[in-house]
Structure 1
Amino acid sequence: MSTEHSATLHSAATLSAQAVSDLRPALERRLDPQIRKLAVGVWTAELIGDELANISYGGRPVLRAIKAVVRDHEWRTFAPSVRDLAELKDDDGVSLRIHVDYAAPGSADGAGAEAGAVAFEAMLMLRITPATVEVSFSGRAKTAFRRNRIGLVVLHPTSEAGRDVSVVSPDGNVTAGAFPTDIRPDLVFTDISSLEWADAGTAFDLGFSGDIFETEDQRNWSDGSFKTYSTPSALPTPVDVAAGDTVTQSVSIEALSIETPDNPLPVGEDQAAFTVGEPVGTVPALALSVDPAGVAPADPAGSGPAATAAAGSGQGAQLPGLNAVLVELYEPREAWPAKLAAAAREADRHGAALDVRIVSPSADGVAEALRGALDGQLSRIVRLGLFHPETQCTDPAALAGLKPSLENAGFSGQLLAGTRSHFTELNRWIAGGGSSPVPPDADALAFSLTPQVHSTEIPHIVETVPVHRSTAANALRLGDGRPVHVGPITLKPRFHAPDQHADGDELQDHSFTAAWTLASLDALTLGGVASVTYFEAGSPRGIAAADGTLNPAGELLQKLAACKGEPVLAATRQPVQRATGQTLVTVYPVQSAAGLQVFLGNLSPREATAALSLPGGSDAATADVTVIGASAGATAAADPADDGALAVTLGPWSTAVVTFGD
């Protein structure tokens, strides 16, 4: 089990500085980062790397985080690393000085800084007193590159939805506003010098300097936050940055309480208790995607090594019950036969249909090209979407022109509209569509998800999970009840810019990804969500290694695909006195024909136990535990209790399924 790495600073106490260096392997450091806990007066916060996180006042969350970001011309984030850290103490509070290097990701066109090289450096000063928290940023470019944004960002927790806020502009004008409840497609606040609000007898003043700031709803990208940032979106981007260019900004939050609030210490939970109850939904249809870039146009038979890579192993494990294999087809159309052949072979291996997403500026000849590529068997396609390559959204006129030609060619599946990109594009597309934004020819809507558009840190990835349900619920609202198809869902963005494909993630084959996938599916088990597509068939962004062996996420999806359409039972969390936050344990009970199956996942670097109160007919004494991802280090064990309940203990980042005998 991992050991928590933390230290506490008090304004009236002395503490030796914690070493910045961490000699653990990089993946372990990412999954279980060092945490420096800070407490001055009734302010508490956590320093995680270069991020000041979980800022609370009197035990109440105030800000999710304050951090500095460097984003290049393709909106990719420079990777920060702390070079050194110094602690400064005085009678009024605590200060930390942090020297941060930012490594460039490189660029698709070869312009800008070399990938992995330190292109920007900054000094962060963190100051906490009994009244205020302040973060200042002073940065300098070490080499030339093109940027879309450099500076401080403030993340507000999604629990602020509905909160009334006064927005103060640089010229002193005050405008009343509120954080939105529905996911908002346009900017929440603009022209910000400070934000002011009150909570439980405390007035807060969040001030900004060094630039003009604005606020957006990051739930559009499945982030668990609202974000206030600099470089207003009305300004042109990208901007050339020369070596030696500097950026200076600061953010401060001041609290004024009528009464001194309590400052309760966080109380963790060794065990979370759940009651398994009545059906609340059904397991959505599950799909996989294949990477069409892996198939060369010169391989029309689709039999070469590129085709094999695109379609997975060809010899790997089957996923009975898999609904479809999704393939995206781009211009030129000469490549379509090979790409469709590879996708069809993968679909045949699982007994699945095809889900085809066309990326083309025109619908002309699409039906004919598909019919030719599939030897006239358009009935194999269960879903088909058309998206413009510039907007990544559906052109209503093109969709209207496509429908009759598809029907004449023998297509009888669902015609999808929406976006092949993030929910934000769907949200903005519908908001800009007038009184009847969704094309009447659309049978269903589609959008994709990825947890790492803005942050790669594990806590931020975990926090995207509940937002998956919010995006799906908002899509159902926007589509006037039309079914919603979510995916592909990938760990990293599939594209930042045209012709730029996703990289693999070191987490792909880790047991973490199975636990995260289970939590995501639990969030997306919502009436109206018709299908969910996860990952790719093959390595490095998929559910299997090059030899076809399933990774933990693949093992999980194999079991869940077989449960398609079966009832999902409620797993109601029982109240625990003085509990803090939401549990990181997912409980997903499925009432299958063979009996009750309870899927459980632990999204924590610590061991966790779920106590299950089972429905009648399920005997805890007959529980059988199958560990998902055991070869990757996952662990689980079950212990029946005298009262008929079942305690399931999951190792860090572990997933399991519990079945019950007669």
Structure 2
Amino acid sequence: MHLQAGEWALEFRDGDLWHIRAAGAEAVERIYFALRDENWGTVPFRIEGLSHGAGPDGFRISFQALHDSGGIRFQWRAVIEGKAEGTIRYTVAGEALSAFRKNRIGLCVHHPLACMGREIVVTRPDGRSEKRVFPRLISPHQPVLDIRSMRYGFAQGREIDIAFSGDIWEMEDQRNWSDANFKTYPTPLSLPFPAGVQPGATVEQSVELRLVHSGAVRQAPLGLVLDAVPPEPGNVERLHRLKISHLRLEDPARLAEAARWNLPVELALELGDEPERQLAAVDASAAPLARVIVYRRGEPVASAVWVQMVRARFANVPVLPGATGHFAELNRNRASDFSHGVAFGLHPQVHAFDDESIMANLASHESMIETVRSFAGGSPLVLSPVRFAPPGVEDARLGTAFGAAWTRGALANFSRLGVASATVHSVKAVLDAPPLEAVFAGDVPQ
């Protein structure tokens, strides 16, 4: 189940919260309830009475859970709430129904390996604060003890504050056991274990996440692909309410029509067998041009000779080479004229199409952009077009809260990474989907 709480996007699965993200980056990998027996075995539970309500900005989930295995009987009730202001709270209240011995009972939090080397501000139970660091090398012992709350950055301009109640928490480095995360768990291991639990014994705990804005980042100029939506006054008015700086046009014969949207045009120009004749037919005065992206049929990246030919035709407009297909085409064909910039497109569904993979693929943007800058230098980097699905494929998820969450993450990445421009989705896709329209109408999270 995909959920949204303000800028937070996450998944609920079998009682657990997974992949809690904002601004295109994962802040928490997982939150879950665990009962570990005296041999550190995980006692399974079954969920009953699941109730949930969710909207574009918040959610509430409640359920009962029962552990009943090997003589251990323990029940608990969970309430999980996400609110538009950027808080997520997971609360549990449990009771033992039998006598047993345990090593741990309670809520655990997994922090992703991307946290390595990041500073943590830890608040102790007595209110004192101390700065620690997620270790890069595997820590043999707990890197952080006696935690009441913690705060750390996970994306440029974003921090997460995690408050714990009902016990004392500490952190261990899960890489000691080949797990790819850091885990914060309740009940210090310095206390004797296993410990006896009597019928009627209770556990009440909560973990609350809060998104903290720690600084402003320049928003990347955004555009949409101009498809068949007509430039009628109502459509033009709606588009101008969005934070759109340009429209991408892939048919130069429609320049005069595109001008009726009253926005600069990013012209995607594919040269064929008669490039001189094609260029002569383009009416450069028909619409204001933001830039011209040059493609050459049969070439993965338009070579310098074609870029310079087009540049001679559009003397006062940035003209840059574009890569066809995937990022791989640009990465394997790095020779062109990048003096005005370089453009490439992307989508997250090349090898996998499930929801979890689509969200996880947001993390690839930073490596792509860093790689291009390694050979294009300081030239402007233009992402165009950015799609949710392969070309020609309509994916209904784009128009849902899930598609909006992916879009928020992508736009936040592009701003955080300082791209010169990003053309994301089409006019029709955005105007037909209220969740997407809301993304482009608001301040894009950084």
Q: TM-score, normalised by structure 2?
A: 0.48
Q: TM-score, normalised by structure 1?
A: 0.33
Q: Using CA pairs below 8 Å that are at least 6 residues apart, which structure has the higher relative contact order? A: 2
